[in-house]
Structure 1
């Protein structure tokens, strides 16, 4: 038996709109004769024996000559609808049989088309869910199964998992956090759809699917430069079209399809570094340094390190110094360039760097201490700028 659910109400609404006759009431019942939806709300949930009989005997239609001729039935006709050779539902047209019979053909056809569309859509969704579940099992390395079984399972979904691939993780972040949840979700969904369509259009052989809160993008094997180029293009396109920001992490070239779980782990670390960066520019795993082991340290350890390096500084001062040092080190120690980025005079920046050295005992301009500040700033960003 088909589960009609909301579809029954849709059938009633659409057929009622086509007939548009006040003297005709449209109802839809399942093959057991239970009325799932009706233009007369009082009928919904009731039992109609005419509908059950028409379905059980596989009739083309059943005339109900008067109210109560069959228990729970009203004057009119019962029209079974078949999908793939099986009765799926019964449409009930209540009214004088001579009047409603002229609608029987179109009602039967519309009902069958609507149910078939629903069945096909559900089958597509089920296949997509199964495909996504398989891809997640593959990239996460669970459950463990013989390689031959894994390969054959992929082929069932027309996926050759042995083809060399690179992995990219994408996180879509709404810009307007104050907007209502429905609006934010629409923006995220639209951006993810755009990413999916762009990859399938421009990167032949790509696979795109969700894993928890991220989009996993598997591209045909490519260089780091190519992967960055794709990431930058996706980011620019999505951020231009929707009120979102894209963060992207890219794996290290593995060259072996068996190492996909390791590739996912690398991309995840690169994504984490991207999310912590104010610029949110795509990050390659190969470009990471101390971020690789950041995730192994507890928040308390990071917090203690920050306080030791910026000893004597208030949380607000640490925030200002972190922004200053980030610009300074991004500009490779160029005071002129860093001052320009911070929109201050270079003498002001020199003064602040000197003041920080005096307060902490660690001169940020010295190679000896620069790594301490570099790590402290990264830990600070990792903790969400909150002390």
Structure 2
């Protein structure tokens, strides 16, 4: 058979449910490969073999016939693209099932054709996915060019790479099977939207969606992903965080650079306490500069500034410092965001001075505290 036995079984079950009769599907050798009567799967159906060998248009079987493995009913050949690919049989008295034969034959052929198209679609998705993987990691430019020609992909177009992380952190008691199902649906939505332009690619990497856009403008990519992400988040109760790389002009190295930039921007956006849903890579962005410093070094620096403090104390002081800096030293705005009184905020700022030796309210002393804050936000408040 030209599709898997699993898919053929689904077809048999679907048709059997509709007509409330046992359905058997036989392969080109007359062997039953799918049936609503599971005891018959894998057995030879003599009637089906005769149809195939003698090129019959149909064959009815009753108790007077002697076909190995056959039961009363009607059997008809299945044709896809004018080629016989098997036989479908309906079990029951000829009076009951005879009139159903042509309808069930046509229904089965349609369902098999749809399954074939799905297979072909998946083969193309896999081929494009493998090509994207090769583009990002394989050093053989000759193989890349050859495969690009096969898939009809132009390598010399201006491209921008984005990386989107799909998180289901907000889902209570997440079911892994359900999460995987939702992620596949989200991937399909992204693919259908992005690959409307056949020169664009979507590459699935774990729970990340890597998009190869044909574009020279980060802002246009940003707008497109912003609309798409909002729709997906509302539909699937998930959180999407995206990084967008800069323009890639060169075929291989520039694309890989844009990918690395997008990964970095995505990672930073996920960890920042005040993260933006979509972050465009910018080499002048302080977080992207500091992200190059090893995580362990960042942690040691934070510990040295807040020496002797517990993780909980550091987290609380960082939160206080974060809003104080965000609102440019406005005690009223920062305290409102923290849901505390201004006097309480002043007390906490004074505590930071006493613990660290640096006064956050003095420009000349806030530098080390800002660096610790940036490091903490890259690591996440609770991972400092």
TM-score, with structure 2 as normaliser:
0.85
**Structure 2: segments with no counterpart, 5+ residues:** none
Aligned mate of 1:55, from 48, 52, 57: 52
Residue deviations 1:178-211 (CA, integer Å, cap 9, x gap)? 233245445545555555555568x996543322
1:203-282 matches, within 5 Å, as 206-258=200-252, 259-281=254-276, 282=278
Residues of 1 paired with 2:11 and 2:231: CA distance? 39
Give the match's secondary structure for 1:104: helix
Give the match's secondary structure for 2:286: coil
Aligned mate of 2:86, from 89, 98, 113: 89
Q: How many residues are matched? A: 379
Moved more, 246-255 or 24-33: 24-33
Contact in 2 for aligned 1:188/1:244 (Cα 8 Å): no
Residues of 1 paired with 2:229 and 2:60: CA distance? 62
Match of 1:289 in 2: 286
Residue deviations 1:322-360 (CA, integer Å, cap 9, x gap)? 111222333344445433433334444333223212211
Residues of 2 paired with 1:177 and 1:328: CA distance? 31
Q: Does 1:7 align with 2:37?
A: no
Q: Does 1:362 align with 2:362?
A: no
Residues of 2 paired with 1:43 and 1:54: CA distance? 19
Residues of 2 paired with 1:343 and 1:100: CA distance? 74
Aligned-residue offset at 1:260: 0.5
Structure 1 residues 206 and 379: CA distance shift in structure 2, 3 A: same
TM-score, with structure 1 as normaliser:
0.84
Residue deviations 1:204-260 (CA, integer Å, cap 9, x gap)? 965433223211223332434434434443443333333122211111233334310
Q: Does 1:141 align with 2:137?
A: yes
1:144-163 matches, within 5 Å, as 144-146=140-142, 150-163=144-157
Match of 2:161 in 1: 167
Structure 1 residues 68 and 175: CA distance shift in structure 2, 3 A: same
Structure 1 residues 227 and 35: CA distance shift in structure 2, 3 A: closer
Structure 1 residues 323 and 11: CA distance shift in structure 2, 3 A: same
Moved more, 257-266 or 67-76: 67-76
Aligned-residue offset at 1:366: 4.4
Contact in 2 for aligned 1:187/1:244 (Cα 8 Å): no
Give the match's secondary structure for 1:13: helix
Aligned-residue offset at 1:317: 0.9
Match of 2:298 in 1: 302
Contact in 2 for aligned 1:2/1:30 (Cα 8 Å): no
Moved more, 91-100 or 313-322: 91-100
Aligned-residue offset at 1:165: 1.6
Give the match's secondary structure for 2:141: coil
Residues of 1 paired with 2:366 and 2:247: CA distance? 30
Residue deviations 1:40-77 (CA, integer Å, cap 9, x gap)? 34323322232233334443233435367122222334
Contact in 1 for aligned 2:187/2:204 (Cα 8 Å): no
Residue deviations 1:241-297 (CA, integer Å, cap 9, x gap)? 331222111112333343101110011000111000123302221053243453551
Give the match's secondary structure for 1:253: coil
Match of 2:173 in 1: 179
Q: Does 1:329 align with 2:336?
A: no
Aligned mate of 1:372, from 368, 374, 381: 368
- Aligned CA-pair RMSD: 3.1
Instruction: Provide runs of 4+ in structure 1 moved above 6 Å.
Output: none
Aligned-residue offset at 1:321: 0.9
Match of 2:348 in 1: 352
